[in-house]
Amino acid sequence: MKVAAMARTIGDSVRMLRMARKSERLVAIPMGEIGLPARILSLREGSALAYAQVAAATAPGQVHLRDMKNLYRAHRITQKTRVYGVIGNPIGHSLSPLLHNTGYVAAGKDAVYLPFLVERLDDFIKALPEFGVAGFSVTLPHKEAMFRYLDECEPLAERIGAVNTVTVRRNGSLYGSNTDYLGIQRALEGKMKLRGSRVLLFGAGGAARAAAFALAKAGAELHICARRDSAARTLARAVGGEVVKRATLRKARFDAVLNATPVGMHPHAGIAPLLAEELNCSLVMDLIYRPIQTKLLQKAAARGIRTVSGAEMFLAQGIAQWEQWMSCRAPEKSIRRVVLGALRAEEKHRW
């Protein structure tokens, strides 16, 4: 018997998983983007087969055969396979499944990492035991709301005010941490001396907070500029930095300038958040990673300034998560090659 039903909530996905568990002579297919993880995990629960897209999709949420086999390795998933994932809304364009799954294949780990479209956080938290999730990445819009569900939290994540990594402990309790700040630190490590350096942070949102704490911890002198003075002041106070007015940037000199606003991100890649004359520094980092080489980085390079792409931060935060969950060094070279390759292919396809 085949049952294909649209999963409108995580709860619907769980019901399909339970159905798959009941009989080996049943094919359970949760449809739609919300149903994607259960579509793959229903095989583990005993569903006799799964459908995959070869040419055009024949049902909503169908995964391409190439991804089913190479990315999620659906045919290899057993009860022993450890399940990880990323939660967010939207989640379709996340590169985290590619990053983590590439690492599992290269390191020979029996684990799978799935994208969970989560509209209501409490629905997902309730379903954790049914999915058997051992850890998950958290992305927009759940990074702050996640705190409510944690049993314990890394003190730095608490100070940053955002959680991007949750580990499910053996007893089911949830431990939250933040690897975005490690992402910033590692992206800049070896490219500049952070201790004592003057850094301008443009923007004062979530990513800026992670960057500010990372830079302050590494001993940098922070200068924060944001379109809302009140946001810049709050962040400056939290990290012992200073607020800078936009009008003074043309004359100010910094060791590094970091963009933590979404200005210049795909599909608005033709614009930059700062003017070339406002880049008086030795290094510019853009936290944006779509595209890899933003307009801001192009402007900086044209002035002979060294550049660091947000792709470096994305890789470093994901690798830190991977290592936290696998308790070993990540196969960094393979992960870098595949993730940067995918970003470049995306750009080529787009333009």
Of residues 77 and 184, the one with the C-beta less far from ligand NAP: 184
Q: Is 348 annotated in the active site?
A: no
Least CB distance from residue 290 to ligand NAP, whole Å?
7
Q: Which of residues 230-249 bind ligand NAP (CB under 6 A)?
A: 231
Q: Which residues contact 146 (CB under 8 A, 6 or more apart)?
A: 121, 138, 163, 166, 176
Q: Rounded CA gap, 309 and 291, in Å?
A: 9
Interface stretch with ligand NAP, choices 102-110, 113-121, 276-284, 286-294 (CB under 6 A): 286-294
Give the pair of three-digit tokens for residue 259: 């963009």
- Identify the residue among 17, 200, 204, 285 touching ligand NAP (CB under 6 A): 204
Residue span binding ligand NAP (CB under 6 A) among the ranges 16-24, 122-130, 203-211, 274-282: 203-211
Count residues near ligand NAP (CB under 6 A): 25
Verify binding: residue 206, ligand NAP, rule CB under 6 A: yes
Query: Cis peptide leading into 141, omega within 30 of 0?
Result: yes
Determine the Cα–Cα distance for residues 116 and 166; give it in Å rounded to an integer.
14
**Beta pairing, strands 82-88 & 133-138:** parallel
Round to the nearest angstrom and report the end-to-end CA distance of the chain. 45
Q: Which of 14, 29, 163, 226 binds ligand NAP (CB under 6 A)?
A: 226
The answer to whether 288 contacts ligand NAP (rule: CB under 6 A) is yes
Taking each helix axis as running N to C, give the angle between helix 10-22 and helix 36-45, from 0 to 180 degrees, rounded to the nearest 10.
Answer: 20
The whole-angstrom separation of Cα 164 and Cα 175 is 11
Q: Are 67 and 74 in contact (CB under 8 A)?
A: no
As measured in angstroms, the least distance from the Cβ of 198 to ligand NAP is: 20
C-alpha torsion 94→63→81→109, nearest 10 = -60
Which of 261, 272, 296, 300 is close enough to bind ligand NAP by CB under 6 A? Answer: 261
Among 87, 260, 284, 330, binds ligand NAP (CB under 6 A): 260
Six-digit token pair at 47? 């569903």
**Based on CB atoms, which residue is closest to ligand NAP, 317 or 321?**
317
Does 227 contact ligand NAP by CB under 6 A? yes
Q: Which of 143, 193, 251, 333 is catalytic?
A: 143
Sign of the alpha-carbon dihedral angle for 222, 227, 230, 235: negative
Whichever of 11 and 205 has its CB closer to ligand NAP, that residue is 205
Residues 18-47: x where in contact with ligand NAP by CB under 6 A, - otherwise, as a string: ------------------------------
Of residues 299-338, which lie at the interface with ligand NAP (CB under 6 A)? 310, 313-314, 317
CA distances from 226 to 200, 230, 246, 323 (A): 10, 9, 8, 34
Of 87, 91, 174, 208, the one binding ligand NAP by CB under 6 A? 208
- The Cα–Cα gap between 109 and 130 comes to 22
Please say whether the beta carbons of 185 and 214 come within 8 A. Answer: yes
Looking at the Cβ atoms of 98 and 127, the one nearer to ligand NAP is 98
Q: What is the pattern of x (binds ligand NAP, CB under 6 A) and - over residues 142-181?
A: --------------------------------------x-
One residue of 37, 88, 97, 183 binding ligand NAP per CB under 6 A: 183
Q: Cα dist. 161→16, 61, 100, 141, 218 in Å?
A: 35, 33, 25, 13, 19
Binding stretches for ligand NAP (CB under 6 A) = 180, 183, 203-208, 226-228, 231, 260-263, 265, 273, 287-289, 310, 313-314, 317
Q: Which residues are catalytic?
A: 143
